[in-house]
Structure 1
């Protein structure tokens, strides 16, 4: 299986000149309500036992309406059109939920959806074969690649560097190798913790492009190796 990294489009001809495309609410929306969009932040690793009220997200003034709408709320939340939802539902996605979302552009409401992901495949990384780098998000510094022997050693080194150098420091996977237990049928997933990319299979990428869906672009995942997926 060949994988690609999903990237939100920055092409102004497609998405407009506001990025992200959605990051605010209409005046009538109560963002402090117990079932509002921000309430989802409490559920990083689970899903809520209620249906959130998402009828009030506003498209930025210079943003264009696309099938996949970039947002400033969370990397684990995707705003998408009914057409995009219909395509994604045909494929094997990481744990997820779709919620109805009202997207407003100049007081016109569009019926969209919010896709919430709970995706952590860090247990399916072969830590002995994977290379890592220390990095500092403030300066952009990256160390030379290094190796660890286990997930436990990765966590110990990660905690140590944060304690010694500060919270802006961390460890990212450099060349990620998935182990034999990784599900090769997955079409859409995030590894999490050691890697922030959203990965898409070639077959899902092709389906998105064939359907003419707008808002996402794809680059080959040259950093990801799934040895058992052929």
Structure 2
């Protein structure tokens, strides 16, 4: 899944949301940014997400792109209800006020945690060096998750913080949850994956803001 860049759908501002309305205290202990410290858990409070501002040349869609975090997704109630029918990685939904020209629209923040790197078959997965958002080497293999991290650290030390390694052809082992409908693997792969059944439900409902391409790089072992 990728967030739509189609200006006919989302308007000419991307991301569609990247700042707050006047008067919102972004430094408050329950503000949106407070969620950043919850990388593997969820807060024991309800964050105050009223409100964020739609960019001036953006349009309202069912799924709304934002510049806050890839693990914080904004969607309306229709989109939330459809996702709620499927098997998702650990997540919470929070009410969010999305303002367009001072008019409040009721949306939701989808806060999720997703790290399935322990279910990658590292010996069968091919990797490539990744510099400035592009692959920059021929595929190679590592023997384990530990070797992946060692090689990643070495490349960053040698070539800079913007460099690393990413999965090229990723193989998930037989213990991976085959029934997941929405997940991210981890830092070794930047993609967000949805099942075909969830994709079909989103498209059948005519929801806007997300686009889909076949995950030909991902193999899930039986």
Partners of 1:136 and 1:214 lie apart in 2 by 31
The answer to whether the Cα contact below 8 Å between 2:128 and 2:166 also exists between their aligned partners in 1 is yes
CA contact (8 A) 2:32 2:49 kept: yes
Query: How many residues in Structure 1 have an aligned counterpart in Structure 2?
Result: 222
SS in 2 for 1:155: helix
Q: What secondary structure is seen at the aligned counterpart in 1 of 2:151?
A: helix
Higher relative contact order (CA 8 A, sep 6+): 1
- Which position in structure 2 is the counterpart of 1:3? none
Contact 1:28 1:56 in 2 (8 A): no
1:55 aligns with 2:56: no
Q: Which ranges of 4 or more aligned residues in structure 1 deviate by more than 3 Å?
A: none
Q: CA deviation at 1:141?
A: 5.3
Mapped to 2, the partners of 1:23 and 1:151 lie a distance apart of 35
* Residue from 92, 112, 115 that aligns with 1:97: 92
Unaligned runs of 5+ in 2: none
How many angstroms apart in 2 are the aligned matches of 1:91 and 1:208? 11
Q: CA RMSD in A?
A: 1.0
Residue 209 (structure 1) aligns with: 203
Equivalent of residue 136 in structure 2, options 138, 142, 156: 142
Superposed, 1:151-190 pairs within 5 Å as 151-190=145-184
Q: Which residue, out of 31, 36, 42, partners 1:36?
A: 31
Whether the 8 Å CA contact 1:102–1:109 is kept in 2: the answer is: yes
Q: Secondary structure at the match of 1:29?
A: coil
How far, CA to CA, are the matches of 2:207 and 2:162 in structure 1?
36
How far apart, CA to CA, are the structure 2 residues paired with 1:14 and 1:164?
Answer: 42
- Please report how far the alpha carbon of residue 227 of structure 1 lies from its aligned counterpart in structure 2 after TM superposition: 2.1
CA offset at residue 165 of structure 1?
1.8
Instruction: Evaluate the alpha carbon distance shift between residue 199 and residue 107 of structure 1 in structure 2; reply closer, same or farther with a 3 A threshold.
Output: same
Name the structure 2 match of 1:117: 112
Give yes or no for contact 1:179–1:227 (8 Å, CA) kept in 2: yes
Q: Do residues 68 (structure 1) and 63 (structure 2) align?
A: yes
1:70-124, Cα deviation, whole Å (9 max, x unpaired):
0000001100000000000000000111000000000110110000110000001
